[in-house]
Amino acid sequence: MKDLQNPQLLQNISALLENARKKVVIAVNQTIVLTYFEIGRMIIEDEQNGEKRAKYGENVLKDLASHLTHTFGKGFSETNLRQMRNFHLAYSDANQPTLSAELQNRMSQTLSAELQMDENQNFRAKVAKKTFTLSWSHYLKLMRIKDINERNFYEIESFKNNWSLRELQRQYDSALYTRLSLSKNKEEIIQLSEKGQIIETAKDAIKDPYVLEFLGIQENSNYSESELEQVLIDKLEHFLLELGTGFTFVSRQERITFNEKHFRVDLVFYNRLLKSFVLIDLKIGELKHQDIGQMQMYVNYYDREVKLPAENKTVGIILCQDKNESLVKYTLPEENEHIFASRYMTVLPSKEDFKKLLEENI
């Protein structure tokens, strides 16, 4: 194939086609989800006007599934029809918490823009009103979450961060909602279900603990700090997902030198939302007060020598296997807002363990 005389033309047309393809996929996904929502509504209304539910489920759904499958092919089994029914029950207005007006507007505008190719104005209006922004597979996962506020949080975050189903599953399995709740009061926990995670201060971006199960390290394995650093770099995409929104990788083993002495920061990131550098130091075992002092030095150096005037203060995170809360409290100044000590886990703990942590912090 000969080289083009105008490669920019090819690039522009390719970008246009990719954008159109994305819009088609989004439109198809939303049409499917709304259709299933409407099927669920029809089944429920017919059920309420008919006989008892048990008898209804045994006879009508089975017969309905048979006829729909014969006419439209796969996807309309009795199990799938029950899922559509449950989907409408879970996402009917009466069972949904109220999203913030800002988020409702953002989701509706995004969806309306993506569905401009739909000629059916009423159908498009319904979709935008219900703000079904994810795929059917996402909703199959979400409607199994019993806590409505928790379910709403994961729906918002999936939309905001464009999580795949696999990413959603991973964040749920690592109890992201529960971990974010650990450091929040009741009002802030409610906000998680209305707006998702809002990052305005350094504290908003911090988790405790961080879950690093993707590294494949057994809980009682022997490994060094350098080995831990290396596997984090090898799994950088997964680590960025765990760190959260806005993080970009800058460097590893960043050298700091003054008075002919050399120090190295394990990992350096930048957070676009906070507009600040984020330094991460890795510690095996229990945190020591010397570790906190070292991080304070790193943060002070970056604030005075590296960050630009328009950027915010540097954030320091010490990742350790264990920590003494009192040691952290009395080593750091009372007004501290930029240095944090967080535990990390290399295996997925149970939801019960996270709930215990939550109860201890309330």
Give the neighbor-by-neighbor strand order of the sheet with 247-258.
210-211, 339-345, 315-322, 276-286, 261-271, 247-258
What are the residue ranges in the chain where pLDDT is below 50?
52, 54, 114-119, 123-124, 126-128
- pLDDT score of 1: 61
What pTM was estimated for this model as a whole? 0.75
Q: What is the C-alpha to C-alpha distance for residues 265 and 268, in angstroms, rounded to an integer?
A: 7
- pLDDT score of 335: 87
Segments making up each domain of the chain, as ranges: 7-144, 200-361
Q: What is the C-alpha to C-alpha distance for residues 295 and 339, in angstroms, rounded to an integer?
A: 8
Q: What is the C-alpha to C-alpha distance for residues 236 and 317, in angstroms, rounded to an integer?
A: 17
Query: Is residue 197 within 8 Å of 163, Cβ to Cβ?
Result: no
Q: What is the C-alpha to C-alpha distance for residues 68 and 48, in angstroms, rounded to an integer?
A: 21
- pLDDT score of 53: 55
Pick the CATH number of 200-361 from 3.40.720.10, 3.40.1350.10, 2.60.40.10, 1.10.3470.10: 3.40.1350.10
- pLDDT score of 60: 83
Using CA atoms, how far residue 74 sits from 37, 61, 79, in Å, is 18, 15, 12
- pLDDT score of 110: 55
